[in-house]
Structure 1
Amino acid sequence: MPDTTVIKVDGAYSPKGPEGQKYLANGRSLSMRLWEREAPGESKAPVRRDYETVGYVISGQAELLIEGQAVLLHPGTSWVVPKGSEHSYRILEEFTAVEATTPPAEVHSRDEPAGD
């Protein structure tokens, strides 16, 4: 029997999360989100999340601070933030990236800033 759970999400109409991320397609065990044209600024407060994140930079630059290590993110690079790792981001120039999270970040309030 063919799989009928195929989901298509048009990013132009995607819902936004609490920090400005656009939620894209999601399945039972992973989801995608888009950070689009994020403005440069100060480092965000360090957080630990109850999900793993992998990302890919489309444009711009950011610095990922993870467990005391600084990683420069620029177009064409990808990264992993393991579940439970303390991390923060600082946008250095207007930044667009896509991320996938497992389990889905938006389920059960995993993406909410409160309680970080």
Structure 2
Amino acid sequence: MTKDSTIKKVTSDHSPLGEMGQKYLVAGKRLSMRLWEKVPKGEADMRHRRDYETVGYVIAGRARLELEGQEIVLNPGDCWLVPAGAEHRYRIEEAFTAIEATAPPAEFHDDRDVRSG
């Protein structure tokens, strides 16, 4: 394996926004991060599947994650996992701020998530 000495720093104030309001932060070859900041109460997305795995951490607010027929409540301090290919959706119950990591990277391109399903 070739040594990779790449260093990246991203200031979130200058990060590109995705079509759902997410900020794309730093991305490597096998992992990326994005920030969901103050997503308003009542927002919900459609059920979907992604070809990447997602782990997240709730900073503030509350949401419900519907995942393959199960439902969990996400509160500050909670972490979650959405496996690659799993059908899921989020419903925001209180202004929601969370950080996510995806592998392989969910990339920003032409105002959309290029790996979206």
The answer to whether structure 1 residue 90 and structure 2 residue 84 are counterparts is: no
Q: TM-score, normalised by structure 1?
A: 0.90
- TM-score normalised by structure 2 residue count: 0.89
* 8 Å Cα contact 2:18-2:24 kept in structure 1: yes
Alignment of 1:6-25 (within 5 A): 6-25=7-26
The CA deviation string for residues 13-39 of structure 1, in whole angstroms up to 9 with x for no partner, is 100112110000110001000000000
Matches within 5 A, 1:1-116: 4-106=5-107, 109-111=114-116, 116=117
- Residue identity matched to 1:52: E
**What displacement does 1:41 show?**
1.2
String of CA shifts for 1:59-104, please: whole Å, max 9, x gaps. 0000000001011000000000000000000000000000000001
* SS of structure 2 residue aligned to 1:12: helix
Following superposition, the deviation at residue 107 of structure 1 comes to 6.2
Q: How many pairs are equivalent? A: 111
Identity of aligned residues (%): 58
Task: Say what the alpha-carbon RMSD is for the aligned residues.
Answer: 1.5
Query: Gaps (5+ residues) in structure 2?
Result: none
Partner AA of 2:83 in structure 1: P
Runs of 4+ in 1 over 4 A off after TM superposition: none
Amino acid at match of 1:43: A
Q: For residues 44 and 3 of structure 1, what CA distance do their matches in structure 2 show?
A: 37
